[in-house]
Amino acid sequence: MRIDGLQYCAWSETIFRQWRASGLDAVHVTIAYHENFRETVLNVEQWNRWFERHDDLILHGQTAADVALAHETQRTAVFFGFQNPSPIEDDIGLVEVWHKLGARFMQLSYNNQSLLATGCYESDDAGITRMGKAVIKEMNRVGLVVDMSHSADRSTIEAAEISARPIAITHANVYAWHPALRNKQDSVIRAVTDNGGMLGFSLYPHHLKNKSDCTLDDFCTMIADAVAKYGIAHFGIGSDLCQDQPDRIVEWMRVGRWTKDIDYGEGSADAPGFPTMPEWFRDNRDWPNLAQGLVAKGFTASEVNALLGGNWYRFFAENFTPQSGEAGI
């Protein structure tokens, strides 16, 4: 099994073919950054057209069984997720509606304060809001995973504690390895992994030591250290790959419609666009390099399989279906 815990590419047949050539059985794709309910439904409609047109390459993933089906039929299962709770607007009833439409991950905030939680770029973090607590309970009930990748520390720790089911940080790295605002402190990783959650290691250069110049060995050293400290079962890959996206998209991701000013996020006025990917992970063609890097670091074949897909597969199997006793959904 090979599973990517998060991508936001400019999807195309070329990328779908690369997925398969790299042995990717499943990818969690972002279908909303700042989109409201109706706009996100339009993004689902676009995916439905791709599922219809490219049914030899991809299928709509809803349960872990779809990953196995994709593997058997040499395709890639695509799972929907949001990097912001904007698709549920102010309406908790949309949590179940979105699960029916295929959403499997939802971030409670994206950099900024949301109705549910604080984002990692805010100066103060007041933790999970009243609506946030109600929504986490509902997400637990239907099988929509709490993702705290872009949330602030206190909010993330509280979410891990409040949630009755494991939560995820689909795409981020270890702060102690590379102190970026988006990387996670020990206390955050502890809270998530102690509660059975997962972290997907990111290949986004701003999350990497020496950014675009990070070496594969450096990246695998971080993984080895995290595995030694927190246990291998809690880690996978969430590449955060934005393959083929034009730079206007990174501006949309950062600014949405919430400000008239430009916010450079992890970039800068000098380098406002997408950063250059490391030469050993240019895009979806380079998944085999990750396996080689992990083997070189001393991981066994079964450990490599766990890190590159097996752990996400187990997490998908346990967290995408309604809470036990909720058979009626």
Give the binding range for a copy of itself (CB under 8 A) out of 51-59, 126-134, 151-159, 304-312: 51-59
Is 101 one of the binding residues for a copy of itself (CB under 8 A)?
yes
Residue with smaller CB distance to a copy of itself, 93 or 298 = 93
In angstroms, give the least distance from the CB of 315 to a copy of itself: 23
Q: Which residue has the tokens 């007041």?
A: 126
In angstroms, give the least distance from the CB of 7 to a copy of itself: 20
Residue with smaller CB distance to a copy of itself, 66 or 125 = 66
- DSSP-assigned states of every residue in 235-287: EEE---B-TT--HHHHHHHHHTTT-SS---TTS-SSS-SPPPPPTT-SSGGGH
Is 295 one of the binding residues for a copy of itself (CB under 8 A)?
no
Is 126 one of the binding residues for a copy of itself (CB under 8 A)?
no
Is 90 one of the binding residues for a copy of itself (CB under 8 A)?
no
Is 63 one of the binding residues for a copy of itself (CB under 8 A)?
no
User: Residue 220 and residue 237: Cα distance in Å, rounded?
Assistant: 11
Is 41 one of the binding residues for a copy of itself (CB under 8 A)?
yes
In angstroms, give the least distance from the CB of 73 to a copy of itself: 10
**Cβ count within 10 A of residue 261:** 6
Structure tokens at 47: 């995916």
User: Residue 78 and residue 321: Cα distance in Å, rounded?
Assistant: 16
User: Residue 306 and residue 293: Cα distance in Å, rounded?
Assistant: 14
Contact with a copy of itself (CB under 8 A) among 72, 90, 93, 124? 93
Residue with smaller CB distance to a copy of itself, 1 or 77 = 77
Is 164 one of the binding residues for a copy of itself (CB under 8 A)?
no
User: Residue 244 and residue 104: Cα distance in Å, rounded?
Assistant: 24
112: left (phi over 0), alpha (psi -120 to 50) or beta: beta
Interface residue list for a copy of itself (CB under 8 A): 37-38, 41-42, 44-45, 48-49, 51-52, 55, 59-60, 91, 93-94, 96-97, 100-102, 328-329
